[in-house]
Every structure is written in structure tokens, then in C-alpha cells.
């Protein structure tokens, strides 16, 4: 077995790990990056997550009139694959061009808390390191439904975006963020989409009015929703999957060419042999970390989705800042510093959220006021009319005593950008009144804040 030593060993080429590897490499540290597949250089976001899904969503909106849906979908998948290949190459070169960084392709597993074995075919490499970072991401969860895992028509999001074959009929299990994003995207290409959700409504973590507005938009696009649906089994029949479910005690079925499991993602720790290193995991299977992202072995860190935190690329990036501060800085930065972390569901229009929902704020005993308005009724937002999409709503949750913004839900054109302004206002202590009375460019979506925040009611 070949051996090598590193100051820093990173397992997994995700956002946090690759950025930390580059930072440490530029600081003159000897760094080894291990990635199990050459097709995953750069991590999930670039290869199977954010970039390809958003590229496919964008391409769906560009389909020329009269273009064959299936052919356009195949072309879109091909162009997206070309895009991710370019970005994957750039990410590889970002590390490979640093003299102090070595990229190793293979499967890593701990031998003890300082030694890791990397296997690639018949080749084996033992790496010892002073500091080790686990950055292996998350994997799709397949629900325990009889017949589902054995179905030839089961797909995950990763598999769906890689296939040039557009399913004529798609059944989505789960009406959360991932499920709705894929449902909306495939419907825009022309797929017949049915979404089965086990709870009483879609987007169960959002306020009722926000979830209702989203449902109205997607139903108008032709998506069928079945809520309070308990899926009992899946069987393959006549070249398709028949999904059996119960709703209010009545049995029903839906037939699909593809069944998308969109019921969440779990930290990827299988095969790492964490027990050999003495690294503890949580009850949900994530690598247990403290506020500085150190594991139960202080010289081993866990960054990104694998540590059980919010599963966002930009949170993984912030994880790198915390670890870098521990290794190169003053060691003051921690996860406790994070305030008002936004997220976006990239439907059309997108839903962007930050902070508390109204339901959460009231449940916490906060005295709140709410400002909300349908996009179609906002006169000071001509951009929505200019781009031809006046669907959705804006909603702000405001502390009645301090005028602080507690949270916002923006379901509108440009919401993915607007939410960052709101998040910055929340972090800096900017009040709702200040946001309301600020000067914004025209015609822009931001100027809607002037009108919406003037509608505050108790």
C-alpha cells in the first residue's frame, strides 16, 4: 500500500471542502483532496444539484413555439451536461494547479483518527493527516414503500436530470421544496405531473397563505396535487409504475412512467468507517459537530450537508469560513454567528424565504404585525407586468414592538434576489419602516417593498 502525509485531508469535493482545501493550499499547507468519482469534482451543486436543475428550469422557459417537447428536453439535458462538464473541469483545475494540493480519486474510509485508506480498483493509498475534514454531502432518501425500491421506474432527482428521456407521466412523492421544484420544471417541458403529499397541504413548513398561493400557481400550470395521501405500494405493470395510495380511507392509484422520490436527503456517511476514528453521529445519522464544526475528535471537522445543518451550498461555504478561522485565524467564528439565512425554491415564479414564518412567530409568543399583498395588486412593481408574470405574493412578519423584520416570504419574479436584501436588513437591524421608506431603482422588483410594507396590519 502506498502512503502519503498531509497537513490537511479533505474527504469530498463539495463547496466547503474544496474552498477550505484551496485556502489552506494557498497558505502553504500540504493538502490532499479525496473524491470518490471524477464526475463529482466540484461537489453536488455543480454536478447533480443547484446548477443542472436551475439550468433545466431556465431552458424550459426558452422552448420555442412549436418545438417538440421531448426533443427540446433531450437537447436541454445535453446542454446542461456540457455546462456541468465545463464547471467540473474548472473546479478540478482550481485545486490541481496549486502545487501544495493533490487530488486523489477513490473511496475513502478511516483506519483510525489520523489515517484514511483510499481505494480505487486494485489500488490502495494510505493517507495520514494532522487535520481531516469530512465533506461527503448527502444522499437521496428512498421511502420504505413496498415495491418502490424494486420498481424499474423509480428515479431520484440525480437520475432524472441525467436522462435525456422526458417522462410522459411523472408521479412525485413529496410536496416539499425538492418535489415541487422538479414537478414545476417537468410540467413546463410538457410532462403530466401528479404530486402525492402525506400531509394535509403542500409546503407544510410554510404559512397557509403562502402554500395556498404556490398551489394555485402550480395547479394553474396543470400539476395535480393529492394531499393527505398515504402511499401503500408500487407495482410495475405494462411498462409503467402503478402507485397505490389511500386518501381519507379510500384507495386510489396513479400510473406513471417515472416515480420521483422527493422525500428528503440524508447525510452520506456510509462506508466511511467513522467508528474506527471515534467520530460520533447524531440520532439522524449526521456527523456530530460543535459550534466550530469540530467532531468528537477535535482535529476532525465536518462541513456541509454531512454535519446535519441546513442543506445549502452557501451554508457549506460558510462552514469553510468557520473551519479556516479555526485553522488559520483567531478561532472566533462559529455557527452561532449565522443570522437570517435565506433560501429559495426555484419554481416559476420562485419562492424565497428568510427568518420566521407568521405561524412560527406567533407560536413563539411574539407580538407581530403582518404586511402582505398579492403581486398583481402591487402598483409600485411594474417589473412583474413588464416580464409578464404577476403571480404570487409578498409577505413580511414584523415585530410589533421594535419594528424589526422577523421574516419574509417572497413569491414573485426576482424573489431569489430580493430575499438577500431582506436578509441583509435583518442582519443589520434595519427596520421595516426604513425598508418601506428607502429609495429603490425603477422599474424594479425591489420597489415593491415601498408599497407592501405600507400595508402593515395587526
Given the C-alpha cell 487530488, which residue does it identify? 103
- 438, 405 Cβ separation under 8 angstroms: no
Q: Is 54 annotated as a binding residue?
A: yes
DSSP line for 187-210: HHHT-EEEEE-SSSSSSTTS-HHH
Give the separation between CA 52 and CA 153, rounded to whole angstroms.
21
Q: Is 41 annotated as a binding residue?
A: no
Give the separation between CA 352 and CA 411, rounded to whole angstroms.
6
Q: Is 176 annotated as a binding residue?
A: yes
Long-range contacts of 321-330 (CB under 8 A, 24+ apart): 322/292, 322/293, 323/16, 323/20, 323/133, 323/292, 323/293, 324/20, 324/23, 324/24, 326/292, 326/293, 326/294, 326/301, 327/8, 327/20, 327/24, 327/131, 328/23, 328/24, 328/27
Give the separation between CA 154 and CA 160, rounded to whole angstroms.
10
> Exposed, middle or buried by CB within 10 Å (0-12, 13-18, 19+), for 397?
buried
DSSP three-state, residue 230: strand
Q: Is 35 annotated as a binding residue?
A: no
Cell of 101: 494540493
Q: Which of 352, 340, 419 is CA-nearest to residue 203?
A: 352
Q: Is 177 annotated as a binding residue?
A: yes
DSSP 8-state assignment for residue 361: H
Give the separation between CA 299 and CA 287, rounded to whole angstroms.
14
Query: Which residues neighbour 388 within 8 Å (Cβ) at sequence distance 6 or greater?
Result: none
Rounded CA Rg of the chain: 24
Q: Is 174 annotated as a binding residue?
A: yes
Q: Is 264 annotated as a binding residue?
A: yes
Q: Which of 167, 1, 152 is CA-nearest to residue 73?
A: 167
Q: Is 305 annotated as a binding residue?
A: yes
Catalytic (active site) residue 442: yes
Say which of 153, 230, 244, 442 is annotated catalytic.
442
Give the separation between CA 259 and CA 447, rounded to whole angstroms.
41
Q: Which of 167, 181, 132 is CA-nearest to residue 21?
A: 132
Describe the crossing of helices 15-26 and 313-328 by its angle, rounded to 10 degrees.
30
Cell of 268: 452520506
Q: Is 178 annotated as a binding residue?
A: yes
- Cα–Cα distances in Å, from 421 out to 96, 202, 387? 36, 27, 21
Which residues sit in the known binding site?
54, 174-181, 197, 264, 305
Which residues sit in the known binding site for FAD?
54
Catalytic residues: 442
Which residues sit in the known binding site for NAD(+)?
174-181, 197, 264, 305
Amino acid at each position: 500500500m502506498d502512503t502519503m502525509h498531509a497537513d490537511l485531508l479533505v474527504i469530498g469535493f463539495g463547496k466547503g471542502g474544496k474552498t477550505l482545501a484551496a485556502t489552506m493550499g494557498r497558505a502553504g499547507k500540504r493538502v490532499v483532496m479525496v473524491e470518490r468519482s471524477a464526475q463529482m469534482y466540484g461537489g453536488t451543486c455543480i454536478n447533480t444539484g443547484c446548477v443542472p436543475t436551475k439550468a433545466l428550469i431556465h431552458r424550459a422557459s426558452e422552448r420555442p413555439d412549436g418545438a417538440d417537447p421531448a426533443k427540446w428536453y433531450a437537447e436541454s439535458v445535453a446542454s446542461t451536461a456540457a455546462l456541468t462538464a465545463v464547471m467540473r473541469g474548472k473546479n478540478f483545475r482550481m485545486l490541481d494547479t496549486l502545487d501544495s494540493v493533490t487530488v486523489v480519486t477513490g473511496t475513502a474510509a478511516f483506519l483510525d483518527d489520523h489515517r484514511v485508506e483510499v481505494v480505487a480498483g486494485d489500488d490502495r493509498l494510505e493517507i495520514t493527516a494532522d487535520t481531516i475534514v469530512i465533506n461527503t454531502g448527502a444522499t437521496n432518501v428512498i421511502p420504505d414503500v413496498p415495491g418502490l425500491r424494486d420498481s424499474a421506474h423509480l428515479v431520484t432527482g440525480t437520475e432524472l436530470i441525467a436522462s435525456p428521456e422526458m417522462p410522459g407521466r411523472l408521479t412525485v412523492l413529496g410536496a416539499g421544496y425538492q418535489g415541487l421544484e422538479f414537478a414545476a420544471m417537468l410540467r413546463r417541458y410538457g410532462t403530466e405531473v401528479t404530486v402525492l403529499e402525506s400531509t394535509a397541504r403542500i409546503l407544510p413548513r410554510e404559512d397557509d397563505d403562502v402554500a395556498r398561493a404556490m398551489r394555485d400557481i402550480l395547479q394553474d400550470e396543470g400539476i395535480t396535487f393529492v394531499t393527505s395521501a398515504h402511499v401503500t405500494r408500487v407495482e410495475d405493470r405494462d411498462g409503467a409504475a402503478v402507485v397505490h395510495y389511500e386518501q381519507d380511507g379510500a384507495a386510489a392509484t396513479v400510473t406513471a412512467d417515472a416515480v420521483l422520490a422527493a422525500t428528503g436527503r440524508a447525510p452520506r456517511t456510509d462506508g466511511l468507517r467513522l467508528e474506527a476514528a471515534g467520530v460520533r453521529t447524531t440520532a439522524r445519522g449526521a456527523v456530530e459537530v460543535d459550534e466550530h464544526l469540530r467532531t468528537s475528535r477535535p482535529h476532525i471537522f465536518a462541513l456541509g450537508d454531512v454535519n446535519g445543518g441546513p442543506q445549502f451550498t452557501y451554508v457549506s461555504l460558510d462552514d469553510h469560513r468557520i473551519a479556516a478561522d479555526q485553522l488559520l485565524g483567531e478561532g472566533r467564528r462559529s455557527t452561532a454567528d449565522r443570522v437570517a439565512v435565506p433560501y429559495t425554491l426555484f419554481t416559476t415564479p420562485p419562492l424565497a424565504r428568510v427568518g420566521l414564518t407568521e405561524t412560527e412567530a406567533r407560536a413563539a409568543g411574539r407580538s407581530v404585525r403582518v404586511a402582505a399583498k398579492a403581486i398583481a395588486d402591487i402598483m409600485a412593481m411594474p417589473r412583474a407586468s413588464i416580464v409578464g408574470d404577476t403571480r404570487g405574493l409578498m409577505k413580511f412578519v414584523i415585530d410589533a414592538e421594535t419594528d424589526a423584520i422577523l421574516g419574509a416570504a417572497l413569491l414573485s419574479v426576482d424573489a431569489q434576489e430580493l430575499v438577500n436584501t431582506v436578509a441583509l436588513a435583518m442582519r443589520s437591524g434595519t427596520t421595516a419602516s426604513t425598508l418601506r421608506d428607502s429609495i429603490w431603482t425603477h422599474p424594479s422588483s425591489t420597489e415593491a417593498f415601498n408599497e407592501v410594507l405600507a400595508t402593515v396590519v395587526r
